[in-house]
Structure 1
């Protein structure tokens, strides 16, 4: 499987995410809608970590190595969070930028998985790409709706939505060129590193921002569960 094919597959999750961002531009959004979208996006990210990334890593690498990668990923998020907090100190878009970072990291992990899957077969990489598309739509919606709520100009919002393509291409390229000939343990540790980044992004940023956007209700909790179930069903169906 050549590099161009990998890139084409990596564009599929980015396209789903961009579609979600466009939808956020076309429909009226309230703070309640934003809270629900963020809950769903957080549920999806938690499912990516708990259903896809960690089980895959633990199934083929020593537990200590997987946990080391996981902790390093979490430490990376903490450092990123601190840096963005300083850069955006006093601005009302600080939380939105962390949501953007969380979605960017998730799309990066999509590319990472697609690139790693391409080392096995085209069909596996295709399944992984298709399995991410639908799940990425709510994330794109949540990220752009959040920036819209914070008053960022439409042109900048659309540019940010389009920029997510960089994440999947970067992840797929790193996986294809740097991890392709490495040991299986190193590839799986890279997935655990991504998982550590994502789980803190979902819990510390997405859910926090959701709770600040609107009062938490049983309905928003249901959206979190819905996001988790959505990704799990899609991933399970296409992997089967």
Structure 2
């Protein structure tokens, strides 16, 4: 099969995860504890993506300071985007549900970065692209759920909500396409720098979004750390047993 088509298939995995989360918000009322555990599990998977796959692979490149710098820039980029979205939400959130659209934009930016990572990772090794796509699914399900649930609370029609949920596939496929074609013939260092930049984005996402949102749902649960460890262990097993080339 054409390698680019494989990249699109890989990108479809997180897109389907996000859409599945939106469907859950429509038809299955999840408990607060279930959402808490899902978010902690997703955080564990994302941390494993960074710690098991991205950073060890990137640190094989030289110079090391550039790799570390890319990681820091990724975290700073996410912080800046998150700050901007919060300011827009504070300003427009109470005016006719505009805040819901600000959240929609923020999720789209996050999914675009997912696509970039999958497309770029596939240029390093096809198996790596698949593994990174699989690693995004657990975090995209609760993300899709919370976003569509927010639109539902705001009175947006079901037809519009379903269309919006499906529309989240666009930034993922766009990011995967750009990541693949821009990095396909680039030097290995550039690919690893972009992947490390994304690792910085993902790490900040865990600290600023996934864990705080999980704690907000259920402040104290003895099951939450187990869910985090389970998510980390699941991805690590996938990494250990999948041939990524």
**Which TM-score bucket, shorter chain as reference?**
0.7 to 0.9
CA 176–106 in structure 1, closer or farther in 2 if over 3 Å, else same: closer
Counterpart-to-counterpart distance in 2, 1:76 and 1:198: 11
Which one of the candidate residues 171, 176, 183 is aligned to 1:179? Answer: 183
Task: Work out whether 1:205 is the aligned partner of 2:209.
Answer: yes
Alpha-carbon shift at residue 239 of structure 1 (Å): 2.7
Counterpart-to-counterpart distance in 1, 2:147 and 2:137: 16
Structure 1 partner of 2:224: 220
The 5 Å alignment of 1:150-189 reads 150=150, 151-152=153-154, 153=156, 154-189=158-193
Q: Root-mean-square deviation (CA), in Å?
A: 2.8
CA 213–81 in structure 1, closer or farther in 2 if over 3 Å, else same: same
Structure 2 partner of 1:56: 57
Structure 1 partner of 2:28: 27
Task: Work out whether 1:140 is the aligned partner of 2:140.
Answer: yes
Structure 1 partner of 2:46: 45
Alpha-carbon shift at residue 195 of structure 1 (Å): 0.7
User: Any conservation in 1 of the 2:43–2:211 contact (CA below 8 Å)?
Assistant: yes
Counterpart-to-counterpart distance in 1, 2:52 and 2:144: 26
Which one of the candidate residues 117, 134, 145 is aligned to 1:109? Answer: 117
User: Any conservation in 1 of the 2:111–2:172 contact (CA below 8 Å)?
Assistant: no
Alpha-carbon shift at residue 133 of structure 1 (Å): 5.2
Counterpart-to-counterpart distance in 2, 1:52 and 1:86: 34
Aligned to 1:89, the other structure's residue is in SS state helix
Counterpart-to-counterpart distance in 2, 1:231 and 1:208: 22
5+ unaligned residues in a row in structure 2: which ranges?
Answer: none
5+ unaligned residues in a row in structure 1: which ranges?
Answer: 118-123
Aligned to 2:90, the other structure's residue is in SS state coil
Aligned to 2:242, the other structure's residue is in SS state helix
Q: Taking structure 2 as the reference length, what is the TM-score of the superposition?
A: 0.80
Alpha-carbon shift at residue 169 of structure 1 (Å): 2.1
**Cα deviations across residues 128-162 of structure 1 (Å, max 9, x unaligned)?**
35434554443232112223553254445434432
CA 16–169 in structure 1, closer or farther in 2 if over 3 Å, else same: same
Counterpart-to-counterpart distance in 1, 2:51 and 2:171: 21
Counterpart-to-counterpart distance in 1, 2:138 and 2:238: 14
CA 163–44 in structure 1, closer or farther in 2 if over 3 Å, else same: farther
Aligned to 1:66, the other structure's residue is in SS state helix
**Cα deviations across residues 174-222 of structure 1 (Å, max 9, x unaligned)?**
2322222221111110111101111001111111111112222110121
